[in-house]
Structures are given as C-alpha cells and as structure tokens.
Amino acid sequence: MKLGVNIDHIAVLREARKVADPDPLDALGICKRAGADQITIHLREDRRHIQESDAKNIIALSSLPVNLECAIDESMIDIACALRPHRVTLVPEKREEVTTEGGLAVEGEQPRLKEAIRRLQAQEIEISLFIDPTLAAVKASLDLHVEWIEFHTGKYANIYAMLYSNLSQTHHSIPELDLSRKILKQMLNDELCNLRLLSCEAMERGLHVAAGHGLNMHNVTDIVDIETIEELNIGQSIIARSIYIGLSQAIKEMKEKLIRR
Ligand code: PXP
C-alpha cells in the first residue's frame, strides 16, 4: 500500500514563529529515503502553513510525485494549473476550521467542480476528490470522470479514539460503560464495512481509491486490511511522532504498518 506523507505540519511549526525553519523542502529527501511514495501538501487559501513559494519549490524539486490539495476556488485552480503537480486533490475548505472537517459536497458543487476538473485535466494533472464515504459521493465522483477519490476517514478515526483513547482501563465493571463500548465497537465496525464496500464499488467502476485523515500507528491497521484502498495520505501523526523519533524513523514505521501480509 502506498504512503503519501503530508508535510504541512512542518510549515505549521515554521509559521508559528514566522521564521525560516523548519523548511518543508528539507523533508523531501528524508521522505524519499525512508520509503514514502508521495509528498502531499495543502495550499490553503489563508496560507496558514504551506506558502505558494513552498508549493512551487516542492513541486519543482521533489523526485517523488507531489499531490497538491486545494480548494475549488478559481484562484487556487489558477495556481495549480501553473504549478502542474502530479496530482491535485480537490478538498472543501472553511476559513474557521482547524483542519479539513469533511469531504467535498460533490453533488452540490457539480458546476464548479466540472470547471475546475476541465481546467486541471487540460494541463494533464491527475485529479482526486476528497469525499465522505457515502454511495452518493462515489456516484457523483464517477460522473465527474476523475482518476482518484480519497475517502475522508475522520469519522472512523474519531470513533476509534472514543473507543480506545478516552475511556481509561479499569478493573471495575461499569455496565453503562460496557454498553457504550459495545455501541462504539458496532459503530467502528459499521464504518469499516462502509469503507470496504464503497472502496470495492469505486474500484470496480474504475476509480483509484485513497484514504486519509486522522490515521495513526494504532488505527491504520484495519484500514490497511481493505485491499481496494491503494494509498493513504497521512500527516499529523507522522510529523507528531517525528518530534521524538525523527522523520525518517516515523515514516519507516508507518510504511511497515502499510505492508499487507
Ligand atoms: N488527506 C487530505 C485530503 C487532507 O486534507 C488531510 C489533512 O490535511 C490528510 C489527508 C491528512 O490528514 P492527517 O494530517 O490527519 O493525517
């Protein structure tokens, strides 16, 4: 399974001080040598982390394919067309959000999406749509004739965190807790089934399937088991872990998790 390393968070640290370090450009060689298959960056409209100059340099200098995430705004599509990355992932964007909170409203945004896709395809840029895992969104993506979809795994990751991080281990049996854990386990299972069914459906109809958001060393295993998902894009957890063990090791460990046995 392929790993796209999202290096936005390196720029988050730099922008917190508005200084020159750390420069996400310095991560390119480390990512490649550690086994990453792709570099992913999100050029947000508010430029809160990656700047236009970062995107320009990264796309020009990366020997790995670059996946540029951006909103479907005309000005962002202008930039993407000029920079010509290997792939553009179209994502929804809200100024007030901390991170991308959901998938594209593919059904409601058809005219704007069609125009963005037409312009990007004219530049021979591969296109992915970041969507919620719903059948309606998969069908709407098929109608748009893109190469890739990326499922937003935020709901899955949140249920996983509620199940395994928030509740402390206890020797006491608390019936209400057991019950809520039972419900959460069922929800987690349902979400995994949903991702599995939709990935299979999308793949059978000719789409390449990626997934990402909120994935980490713990919750990634069940997603890796879904054979029809070809690629994961992971940022926060890899960069967070790299503070302690280094970027190279954090990528190697994640890459190891992505091996299907
Ligand atoms: N894929 C897409 C389309 C995203 O927008 C993001 C978040 O920027 C990610 C993957 C990575 O999410 P995370 O940083 O939670 O791993």
Torsion angle defined by CA atoms of residues 20, 22, 23 and 29, in that order, rounded to the nearest 10 degrees: 150
Q: Distance from the CA of 60 to the center of ligand 1, in angstroms? A: 22
CA dist 207 and 106 (Å) reads 15
Residues for the chain: how many in total? Answer: 261
Q: Distance from the CA of 174 to the center of ligand 1, in angstroms? A: 36
40: phi then psi, degrees, rounded to nearest 5:
-115, 135
Q: What pLDDT was estimated at residue 170?
A: 53
Nearest CA to ligand 1 atom 12: 213
pTM: 0.94
Using one digit for the tens of pLDDT, what is the confidence trace for 104-156? 988 888 899 999 999 999 999 999 999 999 999 999 999 999 999 999 999 99
213 catalytic residue (yes or no): yes
42 catalytic residue (yes or no): yes
Overall number of domains in the chain: 1
Ligand 1 close to Cβ of residue 67 (< 6 A): no
Please identify, by atom number, the ligand 1 atom nearest to the C-alpha of residue 234.
16
CA dist 178 and 53 (Å) reads 52
Is the bond leading into 24 cis (omega within 30 degrees of zero)? no
CA dist 127 and 145 (Å) reads 9
Residue 74, both tokens? 């005309």
Ligand 1 close to Cβ of residue 231 (< 6 A): no
Using one digit for the tens of pLDDT, what is the confidence trace for 17-43? 999 999 999 999 999 999 999 999 999
CA dist 11 and 94 (Å) reads 19
Ligand 1 close to Cβ of residue 153 (< 6 A): no
CA dist 211 and 234 (Å) reads 9
Cα→Cα distances 35→64, 90, 217, 220, 243, Å: 10, 25, 16, 17, 18
Residue 51, both tokens? 């700047």
Ligand 1 close to Cβ of residue 152 (< 6 A): no
CATH code at 224?
A: 3.20.20.70
Q: Distance from the CA of 182 to the center of ligand 1, in angstroms? A: 29
* pLDDT at 167 exceeding the cut of 70: no
CA dist 178 and 230 (Å) reads 35
Q: Distance from the CA of 6 to the center of ligand 1, in angstroms? A: 7
Using one digit for the tens of pLDDT, what is the confidence trace for 176-186? 777 788 999 99
pLDDT band at 102 (very low <50, low <70, confident <90, very high): confident
DSSP SS3 for 42: strand
Q: Which of 9, 69, 93, 191 is catalytic?
A: 69
Cα→Cα distances 128→2, 51, 145, 182, Å: 15, 21, 10, 35
Ligand 1 close to Cβ of residue 212 (< 6 A): yes
CA angle 26, 46, 43 (to 5 degrees): 40
In the chain, pLDDT over 70 holds for what percent of residues? Answer: 95
Domain span at residue 113?
2-257
CA dist 261 and 249 (Å) reads 21
150 catalytic residue (yes or no): no
Task: With CA atoms as reference, report the closest residue to 117 among 153, 87, 137.
Answer: 87
